[in-house]
Chain A
Amino acid sequence: DGGITQSPKYLFRKEGQNVTLSCEQNLNHDAMYWYRQDPGQGLRLIYYSQIVNDFQKGDIAEGYSVSREKKESFPLTVTSAQKNPTAFYLCASSSDRAYYGYTFGSGTRLTVV
């Protein structure tokens, strides 16, 4: 079945470390997205990519970085510059007709210890 795979499901990071969250899709979707979810705040857009080798900052890009070298993959790196990285991270994808809506992965919960 087609879908989005996020790994790992749970991730623990020590302060000062960079970590990379994986997102892979086999839906042949052109666009991919990263959102951060905190209790009571809904989802906030970190980065999005409409095509390979191109991506745009969202509303809260500081302290994060991404790459889009392959259509299927859109990894997110949480750097040590991100001051409050503990959150639930969701990856999504859409066709080039993004107004049809997104398909989401099941998320990665990142905790700083």
Chain B
Amino acid sequence: AQSVTQPDIHITVSEGASLELRCNYSYGATPYLFWYVQSPGQGLQLLLKYFSGDTLVQGIKGFEAEFKRSQSSFNLRKPSVHWSDAAEYFCAVGANGGFKTIFGAGTRLFVKA
């Protein structure tokens, strides 16, 4: 069965420092992979997606992610974090052509001044 693991429940980084959020997935075929961000009490916003082609994908707000098939990973990165990046981040894998998307439990990011 498909599954997504986000090993870190929460992460704290200093403003201006680099960020990497980890994501591992389990899926039999080539996966559709996503990262979403959620502010408290709000819906989710799509940051970036991978479904084919270049394994390094760029997203909105300066985020990028790299698909590594050998490691079943899709880690999210940002070179310099801003205080406004504090939120919860969800990794997801899309099955059934993307019509059945499975989400990880999320990683909450705290940014300290």
Contacts and interface: CB of A to CB of B under 8 A. Distances in A.
9 contacts: A31-B99, A40-B105, A48-B100, A50-B99, A58-B100, A92-B43, A92-B44, A98-B99, A107-B42
A41 B105 contact: yes
Given A42-B103, A42-B106, A90 B98 contact: no
B41 to A, nearest CB: 7
Interface stretch (B13-21, B45-53, B62-70, B74-82): B45-53
B95 to A, nearest CB: 10
A25 interface: no
Majority-rule SS of B interface residues: strand
A106 B38 CA distance: 10
Contacts of B51: 99-100
Interface string B16-37: 0000000000000000101010
Interface of A: 4, 6, 31, 33, 35, 40-45, 48, 50, 58, 90, 92, 94, 97-107, 109
Interface residues of B, number: 25
A101 B102 CA distance: 12
A101 B104 contact: no
B101 A102 contact: yes
A40 B98 CA distance: 23
B101 A100 contact: no
A4 to B, nearest CB: 8
B94 A98 contact: yes
